[in-house]
Structure 1
Amino acid sequence: MTKPPAPKRYLPTSPFKAPPTPPPKQFALSDLVTHDMYGLGRVTGVEEGVAVLVDFGSTQQRILSPYTKMTKL
């Protein structure tokens, strides 16, 4: 089993431009979301910039930022 490559680090003094960082994902109450592991859910709570509480029907989960496995529908 191989590991995925580590992301490249860019030094502030580098003459090459670092790729732009994507804006952080924002979620609001009652947003429909899908999660890679838990499936379809609805946002029931928001801790600004830290985590969101999502009701997936059979379970409630606190998903921490940066929400890489979760997308808004």
Structure 2
Amino acid sequence: MNKSAESRRHLPTSPFNRAAQAGPPIEEYAVGDRVSHDQYGLGRVIAVESGNAAVHVDFAGRKGRIPSPYTKLAKL
């Protein structure tokens, strides 16, 4: 790219700069965090896989593995 193209302002609604947009940061969880899942309800993090690839959550006796990017999981 030339210098003038790099300094141009891009509109946030432009369909041409989608690749340049970074998604929201992935939330990090620690063992013992209380969480809420859209489908499974309230739970507690019991394990975190390396690199935040997934978290294991105990939902009142039912254990589940929630993969990253945790779209349906919220920290309480």
TM-score normalised over the length of structure 1: 0.73
The amino acid that maps onto 2:44 is R
What secondary structure is seen at the aligned counterpart in 1 of 2:48?
strand
Aligned residues: 60
Percent identity, please: 48
Matches of 2:36 and 2:19 in 1, distance apart?
A: 35
What secondary structure is seen at the aligned counterpart in 2 of 1:68?
coil
User: After TM superposition, which residue ranges in structure 1, 4 or more long, deviate above 6 angstroms?
Assistant: none
**Which structure has more helix as a fraction of its residues?**
2
Alpha-carbon shift at residue 45 of structure 1 (Å):
0.2
Segments of 5+ residues of structure 1 without an aligned counterpart are 1-7, 13-17
Alignment of structure 1 residues 45-60 onto 2, 5 Å? 45-47=47-49, 48-60=51-63
In structure 1, what is the equivalent of residue 36 of structure 2? 34
Matches of 2:23 and 2:19 in 1, distance apart?
A: 14
Q: CA RMSD in A?
A: 1.8
